[in-house]
Chains A and B, each alone.
Chain A
Amino acid sequence: MLLQFIINGIIIGSIYSLVSLGFALVYNTTRIFHLAYAALYMFAPYILLTFYIHLGIPFLLAFIVSIICTMTLSYLIEYFIYKPLNKNRSSSEVILISSLGIMIVIINVIAMLYGNETKIIESSISNSVSFGEIIITYNQFWQIGVSFILITMFFIFLYNSKFGKKSRALRDDAELFIVMGYSANRMRMQLFLLSGFFVAAGSNLIAFDVGMDPYVGMPMLLNAIVALLIGGVGRFEAPILGGFIIGVLQALSIWAFSARWQDAITFLLLILFLVFRPQGILGEKQRMV
C-alpha cells in the first residue's frame, strides 16, 4: 500500500511542480514575492465553474476561457500593481505588502460573489484503472499527463528560444537587460502571462477532481514556494524537482502519521532548508556582500 501512496504523491507532485513553475517564472526573474499568485490559483477554477456549469459551455472551451482569464488577471496585477511600484523603486517589503493587498481583495471578492462553501465541478466519482493493487483514477491520469506535457513543452521552449536566454539575463541584471535593447516591460508581460497559464492549468486540474473554495490558494502557494526553495532558487528545474519531492513527502507523511500532519512536515522542511541550505538542492551558494 505504500506504493499507492507514493504514486499518489508523484501525481500530486506533478501539479505542485506546475504551480511552482508558474511562481518561479515571476520570482526567479523579477524577485517579486508574488503572494497574489494564491489568488490567481483560486481564481481559475471559479471561472471554469462559471462558464462550464452556470453558462453551460462545453468543458474544453470553458477550460481554455478560464486559462485566458487567469492570464489576463495575472497581467493586470503586474500592470497596475507591480509595474508602478517598480518604477518608484519601492523596497521588496512594499511590493510584498501590495501583493498581499491585492490577494486579499481578489479572494474576498470571489468569496462575496460565490460564497465560502466548497464548490464541486464534477459531482460523479471518477472512473479508475487498476494495476494490481494500485488504483489510479482517470482524473489522476489527466493530472499527471497534462502536467508532464506542459512541463516538457516549457523546457523545450526555454532552452531553444530567445525567451529562455532573456529570462536568465533579466534575472541576472535588469539594467543591463534594458541597455541591451530588450524591453523589460514586454519581458515581464510575457512572464506574467506564462505564469498565469501554468497556475490556471494546475489549479483546474485539481479543482476538477476535488472542488474548490475561496481559500485554497494560500496552502497551495506555500507548497509552491517550499518546492521552489527546496529545489533551489535560480533555475527553472528547481520547482519541478521540489514539487515532486514535496508531493512524495506529503504522501509518505500521510502513510506514516496521518493527513493532519502533512502541512507541518512541509513547513518543517521549509525551516530546515532555510537554516541549513537556503540555496536549495540545485542552487548556487550566494556570496553575502
Chain B
Amino acid sequence: MSDSNKNIILSLENISISFSRDYKKDGKELTESKAILKDISLNLNNGEIVALMGGNGSGKTTLFNIISGLMDPDEGKVIYINNDITDWKADRRAKAGIGRLFQDNHIFQNITVMENMCLSSSNRVGEFPFISLFQQDKSRRIEKEREKKAVGILSELFEGNHETLLDKKNKLAGELSYGEKRLLGLARIFMGEYDLVLLDEPSAGVNEALIKNIQDMVKKITKKNVTIFFIEHEQQFVKDIADRVIYIKNGRIASIEKSDIII
C-alpha cells in the first residue's frame, strides 16, 4: 500500500460484523451468533467502477451500511482518502463525499419530486431555522440554483412513456411509479457532490427498457471521476460498465476479477 496510496479512495481493513441474539432453549441461555461479514479487506481506486456480487444474504448491503456509517463493524477499519473514518457518523461521511443509493425505494414519499431533489443537494445553505426569513435574497438565489440543477437532471430522466420526471416535478414522490421512484433515487445522487458513490442494486425490479436508461445514468456519474461501488445481479449490466468485480460468499471475499472474465 505504498505508491498507490494516493489513488486508493476507499480501503476496508479486516471488517467483521455479526448479529447475535440471546434466546432460551430447554431452559439454557444461549446466544446465537451469525457472522455476516468475516475479515473483509479491499481497496477501491480513484475513479474505478467496481461491482459487488454475491448470493442473497451474503452481506453486500451490510457492507454498504458499514461504509455509509449506518452500522458499526465489530472489528476492522474503514479508511477513506487516507482518513480513518471508522468512528464517523453517517452524515459526516456524506458531507465528506460518500453517496448512497438504497436497495428499497428510500425516497421521501410525502414531498414533491422537486423537493426531493433540492433536499439532496450538497448545498445545504439555508437549512437553518428562520435564516431564509432574514436573508431572503440570498436564500432565494440559492434555491433557484438548486432548482436549476434539478431541472437539468430531471429533464433527462424518463420511464419510456414520453414524460420526463421533470414534467412530474410537483407531484408527490410517493405517487410515482416504481421505476420512476428508482430513477428519482438515482437522480438524487446527481444532485450531490460525491467522490464515492455506493449504489445498491440500481436496476432491481425495473423493466428491460429502463435498465439501459439507468446504465446510461451510472455511466454519466463516472464521467465526473467519481468512484462507483455498486451491487448488482444483472450480469450483462456489470459486464458493460464495471472495471472489476468483487465476489462475496458466506461473508468473505471469494475473488476479485476483471469484469471481462464473467461468464
Identify the A interface with B (CB < 8 A): 159, 168, 284, 287-289
Q: Indicate if the CB atoms of A284 and B27 lie closer than 8 Å.
A: no
For A284, list chain B residues within 8 Å (CB): 21-22
Other contacts beyond A168-B23, A288-B71: 8, CB < 8 A: A159-B27, A284-B21, A284-B22, A287-B19, A287-B71, A289-B65, A289-B70, A289-B71
For B65, list chain A residues within 8 Å (CB): 289
Please give the distance in Å from A4's CB to the nearest CB on chain B.
37
Residue interface mask B2-42, A partner, CB < 8 A = 1: 00000000000000000101110001000000000000000
Please give the distance in Å from B91's CB to the nearest CB on chain A.
14
Please give the distance in Å from B72's CB to the nearest CB on chain A.
9
Alpha-carbon distance A289/B65, docked complex (angstroms): 8
Alpha-carbon distance A57/B25, docked complex (angstroms): 46
Residue interface mask B218-230, A partner, CB < 8 A = 1: 0000000000000
Which B residue sits closest to A282, measured CB to CB?
Answer: B22
For B23, list chain A residues within 8 Å (CB): 168
Which B residue sits closest to A283, measured CB to CB?
Answer: B22
For B21, list chain A residues within 8 Å (CB): 284
For A168, list chain B residues within 8 Å (CB): 23
For B71, list chain A residues within 8 Å (CB): 287-289
10 contacting pairs across A/B (C-beta < 8 A)? A159-B27, A168-B23, A284-B21, A284-B22, A287-B19, A287-B71, A288-B71, A289-B65, A289-B70, A289-B71
Identify the B interface with A (CB < 8 A): 19, 21-23, 27, 65, 70-71
Question: Which residue of B21, B22, B65, B71 has the most chain A CB atoms within 10 A of its CB atom?
Answer: B22
Please give the distance in Å from A287's CB to the nearest CB on chain B.
7
Alpha-carbon distance A241/B23, docked complex (angstroms): 18
Alpha-carbon distance A287/B74, docked complex (angstroms): 11
Alpha-carbon distance A159/B22, docked complex (angstroms): 16
Please give the distance in Å from B216's CB to the nearest CB on chain A.
32
For B27, list chain A residues within 8 Å (CB): 159
The 6 tightest CB contacts between A and B, nearest first, are A284-B22, A287-B19, A289-B71, A289-B70, A284-B21, A287-B71
Please give the distance in Å from B79's CB to the nearest CB on chain A.
23
For A289, list chain B residues within 8 Å (CB): 65, 70-71
Alpha-carbon distance A289/B70, docked complex (angstroms): 6
Which A residue sits closest to B23, measured CB to CB?
Answer: A168
For B70, list chain A residues within 8 Å (CB): 289
For B19, list chain A residues within 8 Å (CB): 287
Alpha-carbon distance A168/B23, docked complex (angstroms): 9
Alpha-carbon distance A284/B24, docked complex (angstroms): 13
For A288, list chain B residues within 8 Å (CB): 71
Which B residue sits closest to A287, measured CB to CB?
Answer: B19
Alpha-carbon distance A116/B19, docked complex (angstroms): 52
Please give the distance in Å from A279's CB to the nearest CB on chain B.
11
Which A residue sits closest to B21, measured CB to CB?
Answer: A284
Alpha-carbon distance A168/B21, docked complex (angstroms): 13
For A159, list chain B residues within 8 Å (CB): 27
Alpha-carbon distance A187/B23, docked complex (angstroms): 21
Please give the distance in Å from A199's CB to the nearest CB on chain B.
26
Alpha-carbon distance A289/B23, docked complex (angstroms): 21
Please give the distance in Å from A214's CB to the nearest CB on chain B.
39
Please give the distance in Å from B108's CB to the nearest CB on chain A.
15
Please give the distance in Å from B157's CB to the nearest CB on chain A.
29
Alpha-carbon distance A288/B90, docked complex (angstroms): 13
Alpha-carbon distance A159/B27, docked complex (angstroms): 8
Alpha-carbon distance A289/B22, docked complex (angstroms): 18
Alpha-carbon distance A45/B65, docked complex (angstroms): 52
Alpha-carbon distance A284/B21, docked complex (angstroms): 8
Please give the distance in Å from B87's CB to the nearest CB on chain A.
15
Alpha-carbon distance A287/B33, docked complex (angstroms): 13
Please give the distance in Å from A288's CB to the nearest CB on chain B.
8
Which A residue sits closest to B27, measured CB to CB?
Answer: A159
Please give the distance in Å from B22's CB to the nearest CB on chain A.
5
Which A residue sits closest to B71, measured CB to CB?
Answer: A289
For B22, list chain A residues within 8 Å (CB): 284
Alpha-carbon distance A196/B235, docked complex (angstroms): 56
Alpha-carbon distance A204/B65, docked complex (angstroms): 51
Please give the distance in Å from A90's CB to the nearest CB on chain B.
15
Please give the distance in Å from A114's CB to the nearest CB on chain B.
44
Alpha-carbon distance A39/B27, docked complex (angstroms): 36
Question: Which residue of B21, B23, B27 has the most chain A CB atoms within 10 A of its CB atom?
Answer: B23
Alpha-carbon distance A72/B183, docked complex (angstroms): 50
Which A residue sits closest to B31, measured CB to CB?
Answer: A284
Please give the distance in Å from A233's CB to the nearest CB on chain B.
13
Please give the distance in Å from A240's CB to the nearest CB on chain B.
15
Please give the distance in Å from A28's CB to the nearest CB on chain B.
14
Please give the distance in Å from A104's CB to the nearest CB on chain B.
28
Alpha-carbon distance A203/B70, docked complex (angstroms): 44
Alpha-carbon distance A284/B71, docked complex (angstroms): 17
Alpha-carbon distance A289/B36, docked complex (angstroms): 14
Alpha-carbon distance A90/B71, docked complex (angstroms): 27
Alpha-carbon distance A168/B22, docked complex (angstroms): 12
Please give the distance in Å from A178's CB to the nearest CB on chain B.
20
Alpha-carbon distance A284/B33, docked complex (angstroms): 13
